Amino acid sequence: MIKPLRWVKQGLAIWRKDLQIEFRTRYTYSALVMFAVTTLVTVSFAIGGFTADVEITAALLWIILFFSAMAGLARTFVAEEETGTVTALKMAAQPEPVYLGKYLFNVTILCSLALLVVPLFIMLLNISIVLPLAFCAVVLLGTLGLAGASTILAAIVSKAGAKNSLLTVLAFPVLLPLLITAISATRAALGGGLAAEVRSHLLTLFFYNGVAVVASLLLFEYVWNE
Amino acid sequence: MFWQIILGIWMSAVIVASFLYMPSTQGLGEMGRIIVYHVPAAWIAVAAYLMAMLNSLGYLRQNKLQLDRQAQINAELGTVFCLLATVTGAIWSRGAWGQYWNWDPRQTSITVLLMIYAAYFVLRSAIPDAERRARLAAVYAILAFLTVPFLVFIAPRVYVSLHPDLINVQNRSFAMDRKMLVVFLASLLGFTGLYAWMYNVQLRLENLLAAAAMKRREYDG
């Protein structure tokens, strides 16, 4: 019994609920932004007036995005466990809409973070982009992938007793194909690589997103229900 | 006991044959002899990891802790053979490419594979409850295994690898002469036997430990 429409509707309701909670406390977002800006400033300060190679800047951008994402997304499900709202959520919705709602919320958070951090990054590190459109596509697909794979991992971590830094340990190997591809694509987009090269990377990122979301949808039930 | 002795003699014979009977390879010279150890170790590692994932899938379907134990043992054995493949690969890389490690796509993908299962063991150690550990570890094992194709199949096509290919897909050929093939297949058989024996010992041990824990709980309660 697959009812995608109802899933999306319920998922959107959960997404709206999470956004409202986030607007009240602004905890996740401010922690994420602070983390990202602190690292960014440190990097920029260390590089100083020099213009770093694209080889390095591309990797730096994704290191900043990856670790900020880990710092913020770990709380996705832990907050529900702490406030004791897990049971209510379990009664209110099926596992798949819950995953969809949380995924959409994480996507929203990460995209708004990228909107803030990436322009700052470009300004502070003095970067000129050769293929701007491709660069935007890489950042978008990359952040989507970060959210797609880490949402279910955040659920696993919350069930494992919310151990510190467990999410980073679990997410790194799973996200590494995404990060490697995103870094090469960013390098190509910044350093004037071939458009065809960027396109093949984008295709890989796209399929990674698809696999991550579909696999999470199929497996989420086993993490969520006990 | 009988089979262990056979296995011991068999593996010793393979080691001797790899140095005395097998000719040195074209192009790689004496360094090519490592193929007898490196390739079977890598194949067994992948096979064990695949078994671990199948066991995990089975656990999610049937909810039997026995399957979780099998998944754990397969993941452990896979890691042992994967480490062997990594070390022999690095030694070979030093001889053939001049460096122990240079982030060839093959080296990258094997590193990620090792890291995935390291994370898998960290996750297992973080959860005390057996049922919950089994389920979460199974989900993680499946999820992580799904990303492997991106590294194994896509990365080597995008980045140029210097790693020699044993099986040439385009020509449907197998790049070995007869003597070498005999030693190689004997080694593959030996490694498979080694894996089967280790798996058996581990499974018996884990089953006994689980039974002992159950008895203790009965006694306490």
Average pLDDT of the residues in A59-74:
88
pLDDT by residue (tens digit) across A179-191? 988 998 898 888 8
CA-derived radius of gyration, chain A: 18
Quickly state the pLDDT bin for A82 (edges 50, 70, 90). confident
Residue A210's pLDDT is what?
A: 92
Residue A188 has what pLDDT?
87
Mean pLDDT (chain A, rounded): 86
Q: How far is A161 from chain B (nearest CA, A)?
A: 7
State which of A18-22, A131-135, B175-179, B192-196 shows the largest mean pLDDT: B192-196
| Whole-number pLDDT of residue B59 | 94
Min Cα distance A118 → chain B (Å) is 26
Contact A226 B132 (CB under 8 A): yes
A57 falls in which pLDDT band (50, 70, 90)?
confident
Measure in Å the smallest separation between the Cα of A120 and chain B Cα atoms.
Answer: 31
Give me the percent of chain A exceeding a pLDDT of 70: 97
Residue pLDDT, tens place only, B119-134: 999 999 988 888 899 9
Chain B residues closer than 8 Å to A170 by CB:
119, 122-123, 140
- With a pLDDT cut of 90, the percent of chain A lying above it is 26
pLDDT of amino acid A2: 61
Average pLDDT, chain B: 85
Cα–Cα distance, B82 to B98 (Å, whole number): 22
Phi, psi of B171 (to 5 degrees): -95, 0
Distance from the B127 Cα atom to the nearest Cα atom in chain A, whole angstroms: 6
Residues of A within an 8 Å Cβ radius of B:
149, 152-153, 156, 159-161, 163, 166, 169-170, 172-174, 176-177, 180-181, 184, 200-201, 204, 207-208, 211, 215-216, 219, 222-223, 226
What is the pLDDT confidence band of residue B170, given thresholds at 50, 70 and 90?
A: low
* CA–CA–CA angle A225, B120, A33 (5° rounding): 75
Cβ of B115 within 8 Å of Cβ of A176? The answer is yes
pLDDT in tens, B135-148: 999 999 999 888 87
From the list B118, B142, B150, which residue is nearest A177 (CB)?
B150
Phi, psi of A53 (to 5 degrees): -60, 155
> Residues B34-71: pLDDT tens digits?
888 898 999 999 899 999 999 999 999 998 889 999 99
Least Cα separation, residue A84 to chain B (angstroms): 19
pLDDT in tens, A190-225: 886 777 888 888 888 999 999 999 999 899 999 888
pLDDT at site B98:
84
Q: What is the pLDDT of residues B72-89, one digit of tens each?
A: 999 999 999 999 999 999
Banded pLDDT at A84 (limits 50, 70, 90): confident
pLDDT of residue B151: 72
Segment B25-36 shows an average pLDDT of: 76
Which residue of B136, B143, B151 is in closest CB contact with A215?
Answer: B143
CA distance A49 to A109: 31
Q: pLDDT per residue over A4-34, tens digit each?
A: 788 888 889 999 998 998 888 888 788 888 8
Which residues of B have a CB under 8 Å from any CB of A? 60, 108, 112, 115-116, 118-119, 122-123, 126-127, 132, 135-136, 138-140, 142-144, 146-147, 150-151, 154-155, 158
What is the per-residue pLDDT for A204? 87
Return the pLDDT at A53.
80
Please report the pLDDT score of residue B154 as a whole number. Answer: 60
Which chain A residues have a beta carbon less than 8 Å from that of B126? 160-161, 163, 166
Q: State ipTM.
A: 0.85
pLDDT at B26 over 70: no
Taking an 8 Å cut-off on Cβ atoms, the answer to whether A161 and B139 are in contact is no
pLDDT band of residue B109 (cuts 50, 70, 90) is confident
**Position B174 confidence tier, pLDDT thresholds 50, 70, 90:** low
Mean pLDDT calculated for residue range B138-161? 75
Higher-pLDDT residue of A107, A31: A107
Output the pLDDT for position B188: 92
What average pLDDT does the segment B184-193 reach? 92
Phi, psi of B174, deg, nearest 5: -125, 115
Handedness of CA A208, A214, A217, A223 (dihedral sign): negative
Q: How many beta-carbon pairs under 8 angstroms link A with B?
A: 86
Cβ-defined contact of A152 to B143 (cutoff 8 Å): yes
Q: Where are the domains of chain A?
A: 4-224
A174, B143: Cβ pair inside 8 Å? yes
Predicted confidence band at B158 (pLDDT cuts at 50, 70, 90)? low
Residue A172 has pLDDT above 70, yes or no: yes
Interface test with B, best of A55, A70, A146, A156 (most B CBs within 10 A): A156
Query: What are the chain B neighbours of A219 within 8 Å (beta carbons)?
Result: 60, 139, 142-143
Quick one: pLDDT band at residue A45, thresholds 50, 70, 90?
Answer: confident
